[in-house]
Structure 1
Amino acid sequence: MGVIVAAWAVGVGTVMPAAADSDPPDYLKVMKAEELWKVADGSGITVAVVDSGFKEVPGVPSESVLPGLSVMEPPVEQPDKKYSPHEDVSGHGTTMTAAIVGDGSGGGPKGLAPGAKVMPVRTSMGTLMAWAVGAEGAKGIRLAADNGAKIINLSWGDYYGYERLKSAVEYAQSKGVLVFAAMGNEGEGNNAFNLITMAPGVIGVGAIDEKAVALKLSSYGPETDLSAYGSKAPIRCKENTAWCIADGGTSYASALASASAALVWSAHPDWTANQVARVLIETAGGPKDGSKRSDRIGYGAVRPRMVLLEKAGNPGAPDVDPLAPVPTNTPTPTPSTGQTAAAPAKAASAEAGLPWQWLALGAVVAAGLGLAGTLIVKRRRS
């Protein structure tokens, strides 16, 4: 039985403070959002937030959220029960939605792509039926792709549903959809990361603070592709009845990365998902040591301003995944003639085979995230 966990380790949080000097950092100012919105605000782009649903709350304009879909499985004793996508018992999906299209009122965050539309896809995350979210999420990904989503945000992880999720991601990509997934919040523990980020083409997102320093809680590894702000921010709390200040973690970071893609795609509607991903990677604020990428922040912090304001980044080939393995001409090794064959090289992600424990919306939920060595590593790092 798979267990679903949110990639958002926020703890209890604190009620939104009134004093300006205790407000969370203004990451939108750092990202030059006001200037960005003069070029593009996400208009014309639909971001599917496959999560715990959405609840109409102060700070999120109802016109920014589409009717959405629900893939929640009904209880056995109520097989005909239906669930509205515009309900959210935990607040996690509502927070991700606000990070993308919020209007900043009522204590909530101002969304990075306020002109975009969010398609809530409600799963059982945050409910007693959370064990079903892997399969539900896979179904939700397919439905989102079939119903006009250009970007899909996955701010959660699941182990036992990996193969279904991987297949669903492949289907979405065949429809031209760009998929982002949170890396997880176990950087300070066993550093197990979200298995979904191993799926080919998925953009794994880590969390940084306003100074572009990786958060200690942010899970990391070869699957980290980009990073975004995930420190103190307004999040839904108290069973989705209020806004609180807490670490948004990699969930929040993934939502901001999805919003960044919406801005770029809004400005360049003729680009493909591969081209949007490529320019985000090329223009990311890379590691401070000058290296091309690091396991902590990937290729760096998303900087849509570089694309929209500085006109940087080469979109390149429309049908080539920028994260695809690079072909090599390495000859096939000659089999050993000895009695014992040489031990096979360990898969790059196999060492992350440790239990994964994230705070899941107020309750600690443990999920086994043992990354078997037989799983295909997503891409070859250069």
Structure 2
Amino acid sequence: MTARRMLRSGVVLATIMASVLLLGASATPPPVPDDPADPVRASEYWLDGARIRDAWQTTRGDGVTIAVIDTGIGKVPGVFDGAVTDGTDVSGTGSPDGRTPVGAIDGNHGSWVASLAAGRGAADGKGMIGVAPEADLLSISVGFGAAAAVPFTEQVAKAMRWAVDNGADIINLSFTTNTLDWDKSWDDAFLYAFEHDVVVVVAAGNRGSGTDIIGAPATIPGVLTVGGVDQTGTASLEASTQGITIGIAAPSEGLLGVSADGTVVSWRGTSGAAPIVAGIAALIRSAHPDLDAANVINRIIRTAIPVEGMSKTPDPLYGYGLIDAEAALNADLPSVAENPMGDLAEWIRLYRRAETAPQPVPTATPVAVPPLPDADAPTEAGSPLLPSAESLRYGTLPLIALTVPGILIALGVTAAARRIRSARIRTPHS
């Protein structure tokens, strides 16, 4: 068990003990205040559709911290009172606490995301409430496009490390780059989160905003990528995209969000589906503080509700199916040793191998060479016209041995020829 999980286990145990002292033998949380007549609360169809209200019978996310890396969480009274425990800005244009909305267009985006994940809700049961209303939030403000003085890839890498170093158990990323690949600096940043047992939840992107194919960071191995469905559980045509890295599907249409000025608005997109899943991950970590990130993700995807028409898992539209909060909390599942969504370290080993550090140059070891034998003593120089011992041995004598017999044979043949010719002359003709 990591130090982070040991600390979380201690916090949850202390909370349970306190509940037992206050409530007697029952450790079941008191009912969440709900006003059925309140139009805002009644509009949060995902609370029942994803069985989040059922999961609240076990926990509301106490003792767990969700980092929202987005455009900043506004200072909305009631909704975020006591929820945001810390924050920072990495855009170069926000405030040091990360609570000032960044960007004229997307400034409210971070508040919408945070309200879905862990909005507190009013004590009278009215107004919007988040999936994990007792979880803590970290607000890390980033800027998109012209809203930042720092390159976006650098912002994300810095934000990831800050979130981990400041106690995040879950990181929510509700943005996409619309490209499959990612900057090399993200390798170390995301690996840093995984090595510190953090669940990273990422939005798949939306067709309506030009994302036809899933892009980074949703393509990074190890993250839990969230696709979107409508109110009927059907894959959204505009408020989601598709891709083989999608792990789970959650509501992405007809969503609510609290803006930085406290206004409740309607919106859609996997930017909202992701924090719903991040909130459920917080419920799991609160109820099972001994589980590592891999097993939290495994619970979410293995208890998903299959969708009719899914031919295989993960499906490019639904991943492993529709999110089911109550089953993810209470199902009896065997533990896993690896993150079911992939291994970033292995990916780096395979695909960044061309950029590995240069290998050390081997050093040469001196070899002892035995001394050569002494050269022959020089001979006295002689005339090139006179025969030497070497020329007599290898030249003259062999030549004489071959020439003399040849001469003798030639003379014998000549004498024999003469005798035959003389004999023919003396013989009479017939």
TM-score computed with the length of structure 1 as normaliser: 0.71
The verdict on how the C-alpha distance between 1:108 and 1:139 changes in structure 2, with shifts beyond 3 A counting, is farther
Query: How many angstroms does 1:124 deviate by?
Result: 1.8
Aligned AA (1:100): A
Aligned to 1:320: 338
Contact 1:187–1:220 under 8 Å retained in 2: no
How far did residue 38 of structure 1 move? Answer: 1.8
For the residues of structure 2 that align with 1:244 and 1:126, how far apart are their CA atoms?
26
Aligned twin of 1:255: 275
The residue that corresponds to 2:186 in the other structure is 165
Q: Name the counterpart of 1:49.
A: 68
Which is richer in helix?
2
After TM superposition, list the pairs within 5 Å mapping 1:141-180 onto structure 2. 141-158=160-177, 162-180=183-201
Moved more, 227-236 or 38-47: 227-236
Per-residue Cα deviation, 1:131-168 (whole angstroms, up to 9, x for no partner): 72321111100111111101100001235853222321
Offset, 1:268: 0.3
- 8 Å Cα contact 2:228/2:252 also seen in 1: yes
Structure 2 residue aligned with 1:226: 248
* Bigger strand share: 1
Q: Which sits farther off after the overlay, 285-294 or 249-258? A: 285-294
1:210 is aligned to 231
Contact 2:86 2:97 survives alignment (8 Å):
no
Residue 30 (structure 1) aligns with: 49
Shift of 1:119: 0.8
Q: Specify the code of the residue in structure 2 equivalent to 1:151.
A: I
Q: SS where residue 153 of structure 1 aligns?
A: strand
Deviations 1:64-97 (A, max 9, x none): 11122222236xxxxxx96331111411111111
Report the equivalent of 1:347.
none
- Corresponding residue of 1:93: 110
Question: Superposed, which structure 2 residues align to 1:162-311 within 5 Å?
Answer: 162-186=183-207, 191-217=212-238, 218-236=240-258, 240-241=260-261, 243-289=263-309, 291=311, 292-308=313-329, 311=330
1:75-114 matched pairs, under 5 angstroms: 83-89=96-102, 90-105=107-122, 109-114=128-133
Deviates more, 1:100-109 or 1:209-218: 100-109
The 2-side partners of 1:149 and 1:185 are apart by 26
User: What residue ranges of structure 1 are gaps of 5+ in the alignment?
Assistant: 1-17, 75-80, 326-373, 377-382
SS in 2 for 1:212: coil
C-alpha change, 1:227 and 1:375, in structure 2 (3 Å) is farther
One-letter amino acid of the structure 1 residue matched with residue 212 of structure 2? N
> Per the alignment, in what secondary structure is the counterpart of residue 113 of structure 1?
coil
Describe the superposition over 1:311-335 as per-residue Cα deviations: whole angstroms up to 9, x where unpaired.
3252513x4111237xxxxxxxxxx
> Are the equivalent residues in 2 in contact too, given 1:99–1:252 (CA < 8 A)?
yes
Deviations 1:30-67 (A, max 9, x none): 23333311201111110100111111124513201112
Q: Cα distance, 1:247 vs. partner?
A: 3.1
CA–CA separation in structure 1 for the residues paired with 2:38 and 2:341: 44
SS for the counterpart of 1:152 is strand
SS at match of 1:234: strand
* TM-score when normalising by structure 2: 0.64
Q: CA deviation at 1:242?
A: 5.1
The 1:22–1:93 alpha-carbon spacing in structure 2 relative to 1, beyond 3 Å, is: closer
Determine the C-alpha separation between the residues in 2 that align with 1:104 and 1:40: 16
Q: Is the 8 A contact 1:52 1:126 kept in 2?
A: no
> What CA distance in whole angstroms lies between the structure 2 residues aligned with 1:122 and 1:73?
9
Taking structure 1 as reference, are residues 33 and 82 closer, same or farther at Cα in structure 2, changes over 3 Å only? closer
User: Match for residue 354 of structure 1?
Assistant: none
Q: Secondary structure at the match of 1:265?
A: helix
Structure whose CA Rg is larger: 2
Native 8 Å contact 2:118 2:136 kept in 1: yes
Q: How many residues align?
A: 300
Q: Secondary structure at the match of 1:138?
A: helix
Q: Residues 319-358 of structure 1: matches in 2 within 5 Å?
A: 319-324=337-342
Q: Please report how far the alpha carbon of residue 294 of structure 1 lies from its aligned counterpart in structure 2 after TM superposition.
A: 1.3
Residues 331-361 of structure 1 show CA distances to partners (whole Å, capped at 9, x for unaligned) of xxxxxxxxxxxxxxxxxxxxxxxxxxxxxxx
Decide whether the 8 Å contact of 1:108 with 1:234 is kept in 2. Answer: no
Mapped contact 1:205–1:253 kept (Cα < 8 A): yes
Higher RCO by CA contacts (8 Å cutoff, separation 6 or greater): 1
Shift of residue 293 of structure 1?
Answer: 3.2
Residue identity over aligned pairs, in percent, reads 29
How far apart are the structure 2 equivalents of 1:273 and 1:186? 29
Partner Cα distance (2:62, 2:254) in 1: 27
Residues 34 and 130 of structure 1, relative CA distance in 2, 3 Å threshold: farther
Structure 2 alignment gaps of length 5 or more: 1-36, 344-350, 354-430
Secondary structure at 2:207 match in 1 = coil
